Amino acid sequence: MLHEARKALMQARRIVVFTGAGMSAESGVPTFRDALTGLWARFSAEALATPEAFARDPALVWGWYEWRRARVRAAQPNAGHRAIAAFAAHRAADDGGCVTVVTQNVDDLHERAGTPAAVHLHGSLFAPRCSACAAPGAFAEADPLEPEDGRHLEPPHCAHCGGTIRPGVVWFGEGLPEAAWAAASAALGDCDLVLCVGTSALVYPAAALPERAVRAGALLVQVNPGRTAFDALARFNLRGSAATVLPALLCG
C-alpha cells in the first residue's frame, strides 16, 4: 500500500499536505483528543479554548497558553516535518509541481523544519493580539518562566489602546483567519492529491476542505495510527505515525 500511495504522489502535480496535532505528537506536543495523552483528556476545552472562557478568567487561559507555548519552544521538528519540507523543496527544484502545507496546528514546527509558508488555519501560539483593537501584542516575558500546568498569569496589555492581549489562536465559535481560509480554500480547491496527516478530522470548517477536494476529484492519502472521520474518503490509509511513515512515503 505504501508503494501504491507513493506512486500516486509522484504522479500528482498539485499536492496539499493537510496536518493536525498528530503531526507534532512525536515532537512531544500533545494532541487534543487522544484518549490518554490528549489535552482535552486533562483540560476542559470549554474552560480554556472559547472566547467566553477568556472573558471569564483571562489569567487562567493566558497561563495555559503560555505553558503550551513554552512546551512548543522546547520541542524540535520531527522526521515527519522534515520529510514534508524536503519533499516540497525537491518538487519545486525539479519543477515537479507545487506542494502546499495547510495546518490546523498552532505550533511553528513546519516552519522550523524548513517549510517556509505553511497556512495556519487555527492561528499561532506566537502571534498574540489585542482583544479590543486587534493590534499585534507582545508577550509579557521574552522567555516564559518554568512551564507549569494550571498556572495563572495575567495577560499583558496593548501598547496602543490598553486592551487585554489574547492568544492568537482560533477558539471554538470563532471564525478562521480570512487570509488563511482563502489560501487553504484555493489550494484544496485545485489539487490532485491531499495528504492528510495526524488529524481526527472532527473540527469544522477545516475538515470540510479535504472533503470538498475529494468531491472535486482529488485523491486522499491518509497517515494516522488510528481510525478517523476521513477513513472512508481515503484511497490509501497508511496506519502509522507521521515520523515513521512520512520519510518512507516522501523520501524513500
How far, in Å, CA of 240 to CA of 224, rounded?
A: 5
> Is 199 marked as a binding-site residue?
yes
How far, in Å, CA of 222 to CA of 31, rounded?
A: 17
Residue 44: CB minimum distance to ligand BJW, A: 12
Interface pick for ligand BJW out of 58, 63, 128, 198 (rule CB under 6 A): 198
Q: Does 131 bind ligand BJW (CB under 6 A)?
A: no
How far, in Å, CA of 162 to CA of 110, rounded?
A: 33
* Annotation says 3 is catalytic: no
**Nearest-CA neighbor of 7 among 229, 227, 219, 231?**
219
Q: What is the DSSP string of 180-195?
A: HHHHHHHHHHT-SEEE
Three-state secondary structure call for residue 119: strand
Q: Does 178 bind ligand BJW (CB under 6 A)?
A: no
Q: Does 175 bind ligand BJW (CB under 6 A)?
A: yes
CB atoms within 10 A of CB 46: 11
**Of 2 and 92, which has the nearer Cβ to ligand BJW?**
2
CB burial of residue 127 (10 Å; 0-12, 13-18, 19+)? middle
Residue 228: CB minimum distance to ligand BJW, A: 5
Question: Of 81, 110, 120, 122, which residue is the catalytic one?
Answer: 122
Residue nearest to ligand BJW (CB): 22
Q: Does 34 bind ligand BJW (CB under 6 A)?
A: yes
Q: Does 168 bind ligand BJW (CB under 6 A)?
A: no
Contacts with ligand BJW by CB under 6 A lie at 20-22, 25-26, 31-34, 38, 49, 104, 106, 122, 169-170, 172-175, 198-200, 202-205, 224-226, 228, 241-242
Q: Which residues are catalytic?
A: 122
